[in-house]
Structure 1
Amino acid sequence: MTDGWQLLRAEENDTEDEKPGQRWELSPELNIDAFNINVAVLEPGERLSQNHFHYHEEQKELIHVAVGCCRVEVANDRFDAEEGDTVRFDAGEAGVHLVHNPFNEPCRIVAIGWPPEGRYPVEKVKTRDELLEERG
């Protein structure tokens, strides 16, 4: 950090290989303890979470679509989130969701979760394929 600020270029850092898509977990690099912040690039056919259609019992989440478009599946609905859109998910079952990219172009998403210690446990409701097969 220099003089009260810090520049971080995600692409200059290692990605989180255990997660779908190309993802950078930035909170540790920025010394942020209040929330988790990630940047992810989802290629066509990829999902944001390794936990598919899921919720966090103790953590709220927010996604911001920086580039492109993604599809958001929620309890009894689905919608497309376009570039510039921001979506918030509550903690608990009411905030169940799946973010994925069924489109032909990559999308870039900023994801924030708070409080950070609420990230786990994650409750997986069903896989992406199971959910999409149900919804048609």
Structure 2
Amino acid sequence: MGWKRINLRDEQTNNSKPGRRWELSPILEIDAFNLNVAILNPDERLSENHYHYHENQKELIHVVEGKCQVEVEDDQLVITTDDVIMFETGSKGTHLVHNPFSDPAKVIAIGWPPEGRYPVEKVAKKSEILGKSNE
């Protein structure tokens, strides 16, 4: 067979990560990149590493539904349904994707190359850059 179909409702989520996250690369036997789908409820962040970067991996986030806030070195932006944002490797790509809004957000996250996921450099906790004490 030259194709593979899955439904997220039939797959397990990774409970050790923030949000409700499906890590699809292993399921779909994808070796070229890391593919994740995540649902972020209000006040959840996408990464367990808070405000971070990968020395050897680029990341792309596509908002499927809802909206998220993105913290980068010199800006703060809101990304909404159908927006796509890409983060470069190294410290110039430092970012935090989180949901400070009242409705859940569904995102697709792609990182490449897959072996560049680690090491990840945590720059600051979410609470440190947002001035909140809940994390």
Q: TM-score, normalised by structure 1?
A: 0.95
1:61-84 deviation digits (Å, cap 9, x = unpaired): 000000000001011111000000
1:31-79 deviation digits (Å, cap 9, x = unpaired): 0000000000000000000000000000000000000000010111110
1:49-88 to 2 correspondences below 5 Å: 49-88=47-86
- Is 1:39 matched up with 2:49? no
Q: Aligned AA for 1:83?
A: T
Q: Aligned AA for 2:4?
A: Q
SS of residue in 2 equivalent to 1:32: coil
Q: CA separation in 2, counterparts of 1:42 and 1:11?
A: 16
1:26 maps to 24
User: Structure 1 stretches (4+) deviating beyond 3 angstroms?
Assistant: none
Q: Aligned AA for 2:111?
A: G
The one of 110, 113, 116 aligned to 1:115 = 113
The CA RMSD measured in Å over matched residues stands at 0.9
SS of residue in 1 equivalent to 2:9: helix
Structure 2: 5+ residue stretches without partners: none
Q: CA separation in 2, counterparts of 1:108 and 1:11?
A: 14
SS of residue in 2 equivalent to 1:108: strand
1:7-50 deviation digits (Å, cap 9, x = unpaired): 11122111111100000000000000000000000000000000
Q: CA separation in 1, counterparts of 2:129 and 2:10?
A: 35
Tell me the percent identity: 57
1:101-130 deviation digits (Å, cap 9, x = unpaired): 000000000000000000000000000000
SS of residue in 1 equivalent to 2:116: helix
Q: CA separation in 2, counterparts of 1:50 and 1:100?
A: 11
How many residues are paired up?
132
Structure 1: 5+ residue stretches without partners: none
Contact 1:10 1:26 in 2 (8 A): no
Q: CA separation in 2, counterparts of 1:74 and 1:92?
A: 13
Q: TM-score, normalised by structure 2?
A: 0.96
